[in-house]
Structure 1
Amino acid sequence: MRRTAEGHRRVCAAHVTPPAAAPALDRSVWRVLGDPLTSGAPDGPLSGRTVAVKDVFAVRGYPVGAGNPTWLEQGPVAPEHAAVVSALLEAGAAVAGIARTDEFAYSLAGTNFHYGTPVNPAAPDRIPGGSSSGPASAVASGHADIGLGTDTAGSIRVPASYQGLLGLRSTHGRVDRAGMLALAPSFDTVGWLTRDAATLAAVTAALLPAPRTAPLTRALVVPAVTGDAEQPVRAAFTKAVAHLVDGGVLASVDAVEIESATLRRWCAAFRTVQGHEAWALRGDWITAHPGALGPDVAARFATAARIDRSASADARRVVDRAGAVLRDLLVPGTALLLPSASSVAPRLGTPPGGPAIENARAATLRLTCLAGLAGAPAISMPLSKVGGARVGISALAAPGADLDLTDLAERATADRRERS
């Protein structure tokens, strides 16, 4: 700027700050990325926030890919949004894009054979966790505010644990699953991931506007459940629970005895019913498309194919009994606490389907299956670290107590910030 001879000021040059650039299209994270892909309502409670949609939900104008290129190539273009996508748009959120998933959501690793492994920003040398790996990575990278995913056996809670995010698995059946590709309908439910508790609470309130039930001030732990985690994770979990009590987030924590053999029988029944339902839904297509699946997911479906109707019926009776026992424990005001995963995220390069990944998956399933057995909501909170890597703490509550869980997360993360 210069002053003229007449005393006026004249702008000779101007510096204009360009708007922040949209993230580059990382094809291991995103299948489709927009700016945004679809805008939300201008005045909703989620206005200004963006969503990474897991590639199992219908987004109008695009086929569902389900993490598999053959399925994507053959899939029809969706004429309408999935019900939950429409609900988020009506609440003001914009769809940033469609994010990757493990094939047919049948994995907890996040290492898609066809498209690669999305980055884990919290631990770039480790896997991201699946099957909601793409939405989780997009949120943890700051490229979306909300990750919309599914949780059948931990597919929200495990990537949340590995990537230091908050993740809520909603009460089974409370969020409309129309337009969502199913894996095992007896356990499938919608969930979401965020970087902070306030956003998680806002999404939950928008999608589940039911009244709260009772503040979660009492907690239960099952020693045999916690014992399925690796020793460093158990130690971190115990320390974090003690902090919740010391900080006044929880008034009490009591131990409940359930035998390890019982828990393993429950998990085996869960896996049997899950596998039987998954094969019933996808078996014909898989049989008609040999070689279309990556080796690890193909092996999982091959095991599922051998489950007969009688075995599934026997397992379902165990599932029903387990669910009743767990729901009896989850009285109003009480949460069941457990590690979100049995270990920190395995390192990149660990062979998918190999013993390290499969052992971690089996041990984690013994933790994560409990919410599915009970049809209960569950939240993963980033309250612990092991050797610099993240591991979450999960809380389960009575069916319908989703908002109570987000309240607990807000109190717990506020206490953590005060202590740091």
Structure 2
Amino acid sequence: MSTVGRGERKPVGSMSAPDKTVWRVTGAPLVAGTPGGPLAGQSVAVKDLFAVAGQRVGGGVAAFLAEQAVETGHAAVVAELLAAGADVAGIATTDEFAYSITGGNGRSGMPVNPLVPGRVPGGSSSGPAVAVARGEVSIGLGTDTAGSIRVPGAYQGLWGIRTTHGSIDTAGLLPLAPSFDTIGWLTHDSATLAAVADVVFGRNASDPVDSGSRAYGHRSAATQSASSPQPLVIDQALYREAEPVTANECLSAASSLGASRISLDAPLDDWFIAFRTVQANEAWRRHGAWISAHPDALAPEVAQRFQWASTVDDESATRARELVGEAAIRIRDVIADRVLLLPTTAGPPPYRDADAATTEAVRTATLRLTCLASIAGLPAVTVPLPLRDGPPVGLCLIGAPNTDRDLIHLAARCGAALVEPACEGTPS
């Protein structure tokens, strides 16, 4: 039996009343994995966007859930984890239709951030993240469109990866914005993060699954393997996007790792607006008809976001898509075979009782950072920095397309070096 990343856990199936802010449905387990696989002994919280046989996909929206048919098969990635021996503990909550990074839900409520209970947990993969942070599972399976793995990871002191766009089969996944949607997972430690990568990227010797992904001309996900560390780089302009304490902690970490300076020379305002426009256009195309027929189904924050999305016309979306394409080329060309270090989020998680304007300001500032990997379709790993007196801070590593495994191994070395500066194999 694998012991990768295992610790003292409180199996969710053993609880008399699982927390409904975290879990929509649970079992003991809900679905058992194949015995003896590489992930035997691991348990998974599945975000309520993935098909699980015998269950319905709710997308975090009660009215939507009520209208869905029971799934007859598992989402592709869920099936892979089960085949590798992991148990599905249950289906965990998400922000409504995954269109938020705060971590709340108008019907099920907002899970408590175990690390800083007075602050938001981050979303939209909030349920899986909290389940991992509380020790109820070892793996939180989620999605990342604009930061929905990276943000809760940073806010809760977890490891998390947004994978290269199109590198993992999205069959059985409820989409939000397919140009940016990708699969990811959260763990307590880098070893478990890597163990999952070994499973999902080790299917066969073929190229990555084509889910409408952009063609990058790099190594296929199936041929990913740990190699020599890539050079670490920073763009100081990106650190100015974060609040001072977060920026200084991340800059200090990057400096201690020997990162050199580059410049993306990024017109970030234009890129961010273009990203939001394309995301909104695709989100409305996917969910607009249903939302129009169910005007009271969403909480105000997400409803307002979809209302704005409904105003994005095709001409504006086309122009924005062209700019996103140009930005993607620029980002990939500048990063090349290096690894860009930047703050995962623009600051600490907002307080749960913060006013709407404050929460939106933090959200916007963070999305200006997270959108870079999303625009370029690049893999990104969030590494929890050593805890000090303040709230948790995450350092993000963005790598070249289809270097997900390399990136995880490099992130692990960086994380170890930040705790033990003399760690062998750490870039300098």
Q: Same fold (TM over 0.5)?
A: yes
Aligned runs of 1:14-29 on 2, under 5 Å?
Answer: 22-23=14-15, 24-29=17-22
TM-fit CA distance, 1:36: 0.7
Q: CA contact under 8 A between 2:46 and 2:142: conserved in structure 1?
A: yes
Q: Deviation of residue 270 (structure 1)? A: 0.4
1: CA distance, partners of 2:372 / 2:264: 15
Structure 1 residues 257 and 149: alpha-carbon distance in aligned structure 2, compared to 1, 3 A threshold: closer
| Letter in structure 2 aligned against 1:409 | A
Given candidates 82, 101, 105, the residue that maps to 1:108 is 101
1:287-341: CA deviation from partner (whole Å, max 9, x where unpaired): 0001110000000000000000000000001000000011112322x10111010
Aligned amino acid, residue 310 of structure 1? E
Shift of 1:387: 4.3
How far 1:227 sits from its partner (Å)?
1.1
Q: 1:34 aligns with which of 27, 35, 39?
A: 27
Residues 1:67 and 2:60 are matched in the alignment: yes
Shift of 1:385: 4.7
- Say what the alpha-carbon RMSD is for the aligned residues: 1.6
SS at match of 2:94: coil
Among candidates 275, 296, 303, match of residue 301 of structure 2: 296
1:265 aligns with 2:265: no
Unaligned runs of 5+ in 2: 1-9, 203-221, 423-428
Kindly provide the CA deviation profile for residues 223-260 of structure 1, in whole angstroms up to 9, marking residues without a partner as x: 22221111111111111112323xxxxxx42232514x
Distance in structure 1 (CA, Å) of the matches to 2:242 and 2:21:
29
Distance 1:365 1:381, change over 3 A: same
CA distance in 1, matches of 2:87, 2:64: 26
Question: Which whole-Å CA distance do the structure 2 matches of 1:160 and 1:310 have between them?
Answer: 36
For residues 70-89 of structure 1, the C-alpha deviation after alignment (integer angstroms, 9 at most, x for no partner) is: 01111111111000000100
What does residue 380 of structure 1 align with? 382
Contact 1:233-1:386 at 8 Å conserved across structures? no
Q: Tell me, in whole angstroms, the C-alpha distance in 1 between the residues paired with 2:56 and 2:231.
A: 45
- Counterpart residue number, 2:208: none
**Alignment gaps of 5+ in structure 1:** 1-18, 246-251
Match of 1:346 among 347, 350, 357: 350
387, 391, 394: which is aligned to 1:392? 394
- Secondary structure of the corresponding residue to residue 28 of structure 1: coil
Q: 1:81 to 1:244 in 2, by over 3 A?
A: same
3-state SS in 2 of match to 1:389? coil
Determine if contact 1:384/1:393 at 8 Å carries over to the other structure. no
Alignment correspondent of 2:236: 223
> Is the contact between residue 227 and residue 234 of structure 1 (CA under 8 Å) also seen in structure 2?
yes
Paired with 1:72 and 1:30, the residues of 2 have a C-alpha distance of 14
Name the structure 2 match of 1:280.
285
Output the CA distance in 2 between the equivalents of 1:49 and 1:243. 34
Q: Which residue of 2 aligns with 1:10?
A: none
Q: Kindly provide the CA deviation profile for residues 369-414 of structure 1, in whole angstroms up to 9, marking residues without a partner as x.
A: 0111111100000015574200101011011000011101221222
Aligned residues of 2:124 and 2:148 also touching (Cα < 8 A)? yes
Q: Is the 8 A contact 1:156 1:169 kept in 2?
A: yes
**2:180 alignment partner, SS class:** coil
Aligned length: 391
Indicate yes or no: 2:262 matched with 1:243.
no
Structure 1 equivalent of residue 317 of structure 2: 312
Matches of 1:212 and 1:94 in 2, distance apart?
A: 26
In structure 2, the CA distance between the partners of 1:173 and 1:257, relative to structure 1 (3 Å rule), is closer
Name the CA distance, whole Å, in 2 between partners of 1:265 and 1:70. Answer: 36
Q: Is residue 2:179 matched to residue 1:194?
A: no
Q: Which structure would you say has the larger Rg?
A: 1
Distance 1:129 1:387 in 2: 20
Between the aligned partners of 2:38 and 2:80, the Cα distance in structure 1 is: 11
Is 1:151 equivalent to 2:155 in the alignment? no
Q: What amino acid is the match of 1:53?
A: V
Aligned match for 2:246, one of 233, 236, 247: 233
- Deviation of residue 22 (structure 1)? 2.2
Q: Which residue is equivalent to 2:415?
A: 413
Query: Matched residues in 1 for 2:71 and 2:246: separation?
Result: 42
Distance 1:257 1:289, change over 3 A: closer
1:169 is aligned to 2:162: yes
Q: Secondary structure at the match of 1:303?
A: helix
- Aligned pair partner of 1:142 in 135, 138, 150: 135
AA matched with 1:378: A
The equivalent of 1:248 in structure 2 is none
Aligned position for 1:15: none
The match for 2:225 is: 212
Q: Distance in 2 between matches of 1:52 and 1:157?
A: 16
TM-score (norm 2): 0.89
Q: Deviations over 1:145-171 (max 9, x none)?
A: 000000000000000000000000000
Contact 1:166–1:200 (CA under 8 A) maintained in structure 2 = yes
Query: Do the aligned residues in 1 keep the contact of 2:264 with 2:331 (CA within 8 Å)?
Result: no
Q: Distance in 2 between matches of 1:65 and 1:228?
A: 35
Aligned pairs (5 A) from 1:68-107: 68-107=61-100
Q: In the aligned structure 1, how far is the partner of 2:126 from the partner of 2:99?
A: 12
Deviation at 1:418, TM superposition (A): 2.5
What's the TM-score, normalizing by structure 1?
A: 0.90
The residue type paired with residue 58 of structure 2 is G
Q: What CA distance in whole angstroms lies between the structure 2 residues aligned with 1:79 and 1:308?
A: 37
Q: Percent identity between the aligned chains?
A: 49
Residues 245-291 of structure 1: per-residue CA shift (max 9 Å, x gap): 3xxxxxx42232514xx111001100000000000011000000011
Q: Distance in 2 between matches of 1:279 and 1:399?
A: 28
1:217 Cα deviation after fit = 3.4
Say if 2:115 is the partner of 1:122: yes
Partner of 2:42: 49
Tell me if the contact between 1:380 and 1:392 (Cα under 8 Å) persists in the aligned partners: yes
The yes-or-no answer on 1:401 pairing with 2:412 is: no
Contact kept in structure 1, 2:225 and 2:405, CA below 8 Å? yes
